[in-house]
Every structure is written in structure tokens, then in C-alpha cells.
């Protein structure tokens, strides 16, 4: 199997192009190939597939074998991949996603080189039951949540996948490894949740760290950055455009008042290309 390793701000993916549909063993392959010791190593395995609704379809398998409905960093990598390999007709492409429908992507160029990628991430979903949470509120803002005796409050946003945004005094040094896995599986979240921990630094600048559902702590999360900007506007903490600073770097997020769409701009880079035998069995993984 030929593959390309790519990353968006350190959130890394194994990109596979040429399959006609998602392989029946995609979950098993994701667990094996994403293993950083016995496989290629990545946060997720991404298939670029044919679409009858858009230029391309994207399917994302997390490193634990679960499927993600959407991923902002992955969609930028997919757009960069199809452009660099000559599969795209120009610098604008449409990509079908599992959870957020068809999304428009614009590649910002510097000569013949892709400088950054801007994605129309669509409208945020704010109804509690549709995020989904178990809360019949619209929106779910500053709602209390308790885990292991500690009280937080969260704002729920879906960008095609579910997020809860929690504000703390110091997101950079927050212990994600302790609280992330507990918040992810809280009973409020029937399909689990992506957890964003945020600190407001200015009306146009937010520090954020993320615990991704099915993956764990990652260097960046595009949909999480979008959810954080939306939540920050709902909480009156930021303007409708801001830099969301993640461990892997910065994303510029806008929530347009005119069309209610969220726009994400950031990088996508190729790391290396290679091939791996389909029958590879990572040691210790069945």
C-alpha cells in the first residue's frame, strides 16, 4: 500500500489515495499503521475516495480504530495532497465529509507553492441533543460538569463532530492526561466528546489544548479550534475572528456573521511518502 504521511500543525495522518471505497478492515489497519512503535505512526488514517457529491470524499479512522465524522487538520492535508499530486482542477476543491457534508476548500498560493489552506467548515451545531449531549438546551453554555469531585463548566459545539470547551486559568499547563479521558466518556456525551481546554489571552487570541476522542492528546485539532472560537463568542470572551494557539502552532478562525459559517485557515505539510505491506501485523496488536 502506497501512503503519504502529512501533518497539520503536528496533527499527523497517513493519507491513502486510490481506493474505490473504505476497506472493510480499515479500523484494523488504522490501529496497526498508526502505532508509533510498530507501524508508520499517526493520529489517524485518512482515505481519499471518489464522491458523487464533491470532488473527493474523505474518511478518517482514528488511531484506536474508531471513525471520526470530521477533522479540520485532515481536510487541509487532503486538499494539499490532491493539489500537489495533480488530482485537483485548480486551487479550489470540494471535499465530502462523513459528519459535516460537503466542504469548500481554498488553497492560498505563493507562486506554485501552497502557502496555507482555508476551509469553509460550515455552520456550528449548538442544539444540545444534536451535538450530541444528553442536555436539551440550545445552546449549551457554561453548563456545570463534575468528574472525580472536580467541578468544571463547558460549552458544547458540534462542527460535524462533538466538542466541549472548558475555560481554565492556564490551558498550556493543564493536566490533560488526567482529565481528558474522564471528560471524554462523561455520561453527558452519548458518543463521547472531544475536549478543548482554553485560556483567553486577548479578544483575538486564545491558548487551547485538546484531548481528541479516540486518539488522546494531539498537537492540534482544527474542528476543536473552530469549536473554541464559537464557544468563546457565545461566552462573550472573544471577537468573531481570532488566532487559536495550539501546541503545534496557530490557526486563524472566523465565525462569519453574514452566513453563520466558520472558516479555518492554517498549514498542511507533507512529511514523507512510502509503502507498507497490507499484511503487516504490529507486534502485540491482534
Q: Could you tell me if 49 and 82 are in contact, meaning their C-beta atoms sit under 8 angstroms apart?
A: no
The verdict on whether 221 is a catalytic residue reads yes
Active-site choice (34, 77, 221, 226): 221
Give residue 280's pLDDT. Answer: 47
From CA 203, how far away is CA 168, in angstroms rounded? 16
Per-residue pLDDT tens digits for 99-137:
999 999 999 999 888 999 999 999 999 999 999 999 999
Which candidate, 198, 221, 189, 208, places its Cα nearest to that of 44? 221
For residue 149, say whether it is annotated as part of any ligand binding site.
Answer: no
**Residue 140 banded pLDDT, cuts 50, 70, 90:** very high
Task: Give exposure, 6-15, as e/b (b: 16+ Cβ within 10 Å).
Answer: bbbbebbbbb
Give residue 279's pLDDT. Answer: 65
The verdict on whether 164 is a catalytic residue reads no
From CA 271, how far away is CA 7, in angstroms rounded? 7
Give residue 112's pLDDT. Answer: 85
Per-residue pLDDT tens digits for 40-76:
999 999 999 999 999 999 999 999 999 999 999 999 9
For residue 161, say whether it is annotated as part of any ligand binding site.
Answer: yes
For residue 213, say whether it is annotated as part of any ligand binding site.
Answer: yes
Pick the CATH number of 128-260 from 3.40.50.720, 3.30.9.30, 3.30.70.1230, 3.10.310.10: 3.10.310.10
For residue 73, say whether it is annotated as part of any ligand binding site.
Answer: yes
User: Taking 60 as the threshold, does the pLDDT of residue 145 lie above it?
Assistant: yes
Phi, psi at residue 223, to the nearest 5°? -65, -35
For residue 44, say whether it is annotated as part of any ligand binding site.
Answer: no
C-alpha cell, 201? 489571552
For residue 134, say whether it is annotated as part of any ligand binding site.
Answer: no
Per-residue pLDDT tens digits for 176-221:
999 999 999 999 999 999 999 999 999 999 999 999 999 999 999 9
Domain pair 2-122+268-280 / 128-260, same fold: yes
User: What does the domain layout of the chain look like in residue ranges?
Assistant: 2-122+268-280, 128-260
Active-site choice (34, 71, 164, 226): 71
Chain centroid offset of residue 285 CA: 26
**Residue 167 banded pLDDT, cuts 50, 70, 90:** very high
CATH code given to domain 2-122+268-280: 3.10.310.10
Query: pTM of the prediction?
Result: 0.93
**Residue 281 banded pLDDT, cuts 50, 70, 90:** very low
Amino acid at each position: 500500500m502506497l501512503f503519504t504521511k502529512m501533518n497539520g500543525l503536528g496533527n499527523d495522518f497517513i493519507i491513502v489515495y486510490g481506493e474505490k471505497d473504505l476497506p472493510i478492515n480499515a479500523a484494523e489497519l488504522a490501529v496497526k499503521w498508526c502505532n508509533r512503535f510498530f507501524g508508520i505512526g499517526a493520529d489517524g488514517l485518512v482515505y481519499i475516495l471518489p464522491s458523487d457529491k464533491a470532488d473527493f470524499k474523505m474518511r478518517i479512522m482514528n488511531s484506536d480504530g474508531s471513525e471520526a465524522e470530521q477533522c479540520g487538520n485532515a481536510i487541509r492535508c487532503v486538499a494539499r495532497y490532491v493539489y500537489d499530486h495533480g488530482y485537483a482542477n485548480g486551487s479550489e476543491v470540494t471535499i465530502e465529509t462523513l459528519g459535516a457534508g460537503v466542504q469548500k476548500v481554498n488553497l492560498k498560493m505563493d507562486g506554485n507553492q501552497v502557502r496555507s489552506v482555508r476551509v469553509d467548515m460550515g455552520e456550528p451545531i449548538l442544539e444540545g441533543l444534536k451535538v450530541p449531549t444528553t442536555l436539551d438546551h440550545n445552546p449549551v453554555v457554561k453548563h456545570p460538569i463534575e468528574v472525580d469531585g472536580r467541578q468544571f463548566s463547558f460549552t458544547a459545539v458540534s462542527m460535524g463532530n462533538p466538542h466541549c470547551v472548558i475555560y481554565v486559568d492556564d490551558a498550556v499547563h493543564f493536566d490533560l492526561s488526567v482529565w481528558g479521558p474522564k471528560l471524554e466518556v462523561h455520561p453527558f456525551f452519548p458518543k463521547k466528546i472531544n475536549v478543548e481546554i482554553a485560556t483567553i489571552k486577548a479578544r483575538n487570541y486564545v491558548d487551547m489544548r485538546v484531548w481528541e476522542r479516540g486518539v488522546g492528546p494531539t498537537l492540534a485539532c482544527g474542528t476543536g479550534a473552530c469549536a473554541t472560537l464559537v464557544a468563546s463568542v457565545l461566552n462573550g470572551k472573544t471577537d468573531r475572528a481570532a488566532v487559536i494557539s495550539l501546541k503545534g502552532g496557530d490557526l486563524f478562525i472566523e465565525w462569519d456573521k453574514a452566513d453563520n459559517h466558520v472558516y479555518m485557515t492554517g498549514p498542511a505539510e507533507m512529511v514523507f511518502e512510502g509503502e507498507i505491506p497490507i499484511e503487516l501485523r504490529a507486534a502485540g496488536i491482534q
